[in-house]
């Protein structure tokens, strides 16, 4: 067996089902060997999108997919997805071809120190020493990727190792499949302290992070929330672990809930920038945190933790449920409490403001009107991929999720350009799962801003090539955050000298005259321009009816459309 075949068999033995990449020297043989052994190979148009797709498979399935890259620039492009997966704590494996070992330090084709370059984004970055050692390294990589805090691993394979043939196949170090992540629980004393702290609070709050979604804790968390009567809010990708329509969900009062809570139970939600580091002015200065996390070093990070619960989220929430039944049975946090009244009032107030934004829309629509129309037609259980600045932020508030792991967005790293790769991965995983369960697959809908779409727009061809029925929706307000309307843009570009355009065209502005829908026509698929709400309704219905190929809806919205006034900004304001 040669190195490519040994690698492919090792990956299959470890349960790898998907490989995304762009082939070339020296990894062509790896992709072919992977297909021959039953691993689905998806040829992408850019290594960034390939790495985003592989990371999304890891989040959705709990096992790493492979991003296969060529040497030098191929790996460098994939670093974007590696960094994104690292910050999101998703399992992912990158396999990079590299220059032959006998050419090291000679200026070989695309030679860079790849193991060292990848190491800062990985839990493990390594190179097998011999062709017979490849299975050992693959198992080790998968184990590092899924155990503890999930993350990225990198394996470097020089071209001569890929081509090398084992002279004695009995020396190949075949391994067993790496086991599923170990399940750890908390000492009962910690569970009791956490429950006492939570149930003695006057203004308690539960925050559900995407780690709870990854940990498949939806059943136990729903039980705990129903038992306790606590208000909860999810982080963006924690949406759906417990339904957004649950009566105890207070997402519409997010700022108020975070600011006023005196005890907050963080369920696999980190106190990073998404939760404003757990610090004033977004949080009460005397707030107490109960933190549940798979990574002990995360507990107490940025803000002191009153109680730390380290271990498997599903197991520990089940411990909390059992402890509550034993000690607090019948002592639910009642809706008659002043804290509930305060939150309900804010929820209603913000819902009214959102409705006013919908009703104030003209033609072209604003973001709120566009999302309102989209949500009327979205089928239950569909997977939403959502990215862009205002497009994503408003989508987080307007799209409700009733099931876990049905939302993918820029996440903890705030990465723009993930949309196309995420959507392709989600469609493949969902189609495979539906086949196993003998049911129709749920639809994948990718809603992107026009700027975000530009990062991976050519992956439309990938979706068309593999007959993936993804519905791409571009919310086009002509720029980054916002842009110029057509008249203003045409005036600027007509009156200005060609050489002065870089001085006068606003940095946020994109060309409002682009017909994005025509890109889809080039791939033999359906693309539609949408301006009127009735056109959006009809076009989305037609796209949902097409289960054989992707569709694109180019929705022209108001160029100045943005978010309603926020109580606080996500980040420090620009001086502009």
Residue 202 has pLDDT above 50, yes or no: yes
Q: What is the mean pLDDT of residues 398-426?
A: 96
Q: What is the mean pLDDT of residues 344-348?
A: 96
**pLDDT band at residue 107 using 50, 70 and 90 as cut-offs:** confident
> Sign of dihedral through CA atoms 9, 14, 20, 25?
negative
Residue 572 has pLDDT above 70, yes or no: no
Q: Record the pTM.
A: 0.95
**Percent of the residues in the chain that have a pLDDT greater than 90, as a whole number:** 92
Task: Give the pLDDT of residue 143.
Answer: 98
Distance of CA 156 to the CA centre of its chain: 26
Residue 113 has pLDDT above 70, yes or no: yes
Q: Are 118 and 82 in contact (CB under 8 A)?
A: yes
- Give the span between the Cα atoms of 576 and 566, in whole angstroms: 17
Q: What is the mean pLDDT of residues 419-434?
A: 97
The DSSP symbol for 500 reads G
Task: Give the pLDDT of residue 576.
Answer: 40
* Sheet of strand 444-449, all strands in order from the earlier edge strand to the far edge: 407-409, 383-387, 444-449, 471-476, 551-556, 526-530
With 0-12 CB in 10 A as exposed, 13-18 as middle and 19+ as buried, what is 458?
Answer: middle
Q: Are 123 and 153 in contact (CB under 8 A)?
A: yes
Q: In degrees to the nearest 10, what's the CA dihedral of 16, 19, 23, 27?
A: -10
Q: What are phi and psi of 56, to 5 degrees?
A: -65, -35
Neighbours of 298 (CB within 10 A): 23
Q: Any residues with CB less than 8 A from the CB of 95 and at least 6 apart, and which?
A: 7, 27, 30, 66, 67, 68, 69, 154, 155, 157
Closest CA to 78 of 142, 125, 9: 125
Instruction: Name the E strands within 287-329.
Output: 288-293, 307-310
Closest CA to 145 of 218, 76, 61: 61
Distance of CA 287 to the CA centre of its chain: 29
- Give the span between the Cα atoms of 81 and 77, in whole angstroms: 8
Task: Give the pLDDT of residue 450.
Answer: 96
The three-state DSSP-derived secondary structure of 155-179 is EEEEHHHHHCECCCHHHCCCCCCCC
What is the chain's alpha carbon radius of gyration, rounded to the nearest angstrom? 25
With 0-12 CB in 10 A as exposed, 13-18 as middle and 19+ as buried, what is 552?
Answer: buried
513-569 pLDDT per residue, tens = 999 999 999 999 999 999 999 999 999 999 999 999 999 999 999 998 766 544 445
457-484 pLDDT per residue, tens = 999 999 999 999 999 999 999 999 889 9
* Sheet of strand 152-158, all strands in order from the earlier edge strand to the far edge: 40-43, 18-21, 66-69, 92-98, 152-158, 124-126
Where on the phi/psi map is residue 145: left (φ > 0), alpha (ψ -120 to 50), or beta? alpha
Q: What is the mean pLDDT of residues 201-227?
A: 98
Q: Any residues with CB less than 8 A from the CB of 405 and at least 6 apart, and which?
A: 59, 60, 213, 214, 240
Residue 575 has pLDDT above 80, yes or no: no
Task: Give the pLDDT of residue 564.
Answer: 59
Q: Any residues with CB less than 8 A from the CB of 574 and at least 6 apart, and which?
A: none
Return the residue matching tokens 């539906």.
Answer: 434
With 0-12 CB in 10 A as exposed, 13-18 as middle and 19+ as buried, what is 566?
Answer: exposed
Give the domains, in start order, of the chain with CATH numbers. 3-171 (3.40.50.970), 188-347 (3.40.50.1220), 361-556 (3.40.50.970)
Classify 76 as helix, strand or coil.
helix
Classify 288 as helix, strand or coil.
strand
Q: What are phi and psi of 310, to 5 degrees?
A: -105, 125
73-91 pLDDT per residue, tens = 999 999 999 999 999 999 9
Q: Residue 519 has which token pair?
A: 């890109």
Distance between first and last Cα of the chain: 61
163-195 pLDDT per residue, tens = 999 988 889 999 999 999 999 999 999 999 999
Classify 224 as helix, strand or coil.
helix
**pLDDT band at residue 571 using 50, 70 and 90 as cut-offs:** low
The three-state DSSP-derived secondary structure of 510-575 is CCCCCCCHHHHHHCCCEEEEECCHHHHHHHHHHHHHCCCCCEEEEEEECCCCCCCCCCCCCCCCCC
Looking at every residue in the chain, the average pLDDT score rounds to: 94
Task: Give the pLDDT of residue 127.
Answer: 97
Task: Give the pLDDT of residue 568.
Answer: 42
- CA–CA–CA angle 499, 502, 506 (5° rounding): 140
Residue 574 has pLDDT above 50, yes or no: no
């Amino acid at each position: 067996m040669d190195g490519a075949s040994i690698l492919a068999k090792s990956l299959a033995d470890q349960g790898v089902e998907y490989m995304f990449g762009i082939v070339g020297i020296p990894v062509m043989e790896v992709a072919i060997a992977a297909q021959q052994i039953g691993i689905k190979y998806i040829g992408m148009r850019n290594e960034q999108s390939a790495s985003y797709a592989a990371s999304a498979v890891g989040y959705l399935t709990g096992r790493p997919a492979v991003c296969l890259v060529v040497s030098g620039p191929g790996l460098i492009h994939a670093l974007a997805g590696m960094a994104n997966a690292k910050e999101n704590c998703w399992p992912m494996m990158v396999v990079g071809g590299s220059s032959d070992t006998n050419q090291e330090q000679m200026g070989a084709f695309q030679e860079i120190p790849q193991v060292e370059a990848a190491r800062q984004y990985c839990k493990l970055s390594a190179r097998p020493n011999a062709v017979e050692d490849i299975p050992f390294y693959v198992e080790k990589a998968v184990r590092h990727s899924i155990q503890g805090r999930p993350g990225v691993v990198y394996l470097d394979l020089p071209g001569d190792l890929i081509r090398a043939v084992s002279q004695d196949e009995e020396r190949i170090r075949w391994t067993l499949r790496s086991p599923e992540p170990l399940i750890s629980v908390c000492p009962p004393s910690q569970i009791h302290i956490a429950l006492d702290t939570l149930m003695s609070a006057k203004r308690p709050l539960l925050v559900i992070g995407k780690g709870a979604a990854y940990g498949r804790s939806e059943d136990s968390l729903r039980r705990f929330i129903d038992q306790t009567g606590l208000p909860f809010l999810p982080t963006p990708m924690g949406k759906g672990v417990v339904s957004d329509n649950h009566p105890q969900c207070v997402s519409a009062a997010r700022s108020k809930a975070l600011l006023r809570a005196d005890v907050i139970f963080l369920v696999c939600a980190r106190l990073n920038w998404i939760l404003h580091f757990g610090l004033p002015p977004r949080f009460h200065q005397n707030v107490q945190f109960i933190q549940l996390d798979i990574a002990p070093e995360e507990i107490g990070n940025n803000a002191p933790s009153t109680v730390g619960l380290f271990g498997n989220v599903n197991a520990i929430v089940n411990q909390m449920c059992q402890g509550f039944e034993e000690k607090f049975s019948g002592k639910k946090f009642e809706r008659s409490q002043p804290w509930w009244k305060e939150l309900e009032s804010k929820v209603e107030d913000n819902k009214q403001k959102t409705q006013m934004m919908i009703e104030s829309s003209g033609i072209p629509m604003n973001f709120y009107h566009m999302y309102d129309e989209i949500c009327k037609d979205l089928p239950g259980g569909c997977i939403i991929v959502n990215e862009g600045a205002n497009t994503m932020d408003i989508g987080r508030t307007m799209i409700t999720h009733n099931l876990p792991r049905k939302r993918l967005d820029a996440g903890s790293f705030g990465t723009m350009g993930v949309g196309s790769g995420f959507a392709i991965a989600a469609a493949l995983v969902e189609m495979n799962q539906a086949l196993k369960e003998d049911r129709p697959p749920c639809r994948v809908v990718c809603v992107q801003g026009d700027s975000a779409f530009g990062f991976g727009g050519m992956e439309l061809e990938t979706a068309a090539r593999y007959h993936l029925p993804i519905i791409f929706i571009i919310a086009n307000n002509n720029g980054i955050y916002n842009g110029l309307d057509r008249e203003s843009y045409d005036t600027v570009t007509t009156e200005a000298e060609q050489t002065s355009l870089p001085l006068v065209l606003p940095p946020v502005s994109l060309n409002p005259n682009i017909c994005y829908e025509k890109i889809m026509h080039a791939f033999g698929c359906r693309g539609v321009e949408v301006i009127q709400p009735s056109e959006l309704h009809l076009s989305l219905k037609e796209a949902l009816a097409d289960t054989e190929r992707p569709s694109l809806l180019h929705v022209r919205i108001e160029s100045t459309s943005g978010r309603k006034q926020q109580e606080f900004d996500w980040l420090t304001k620009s001086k502009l």
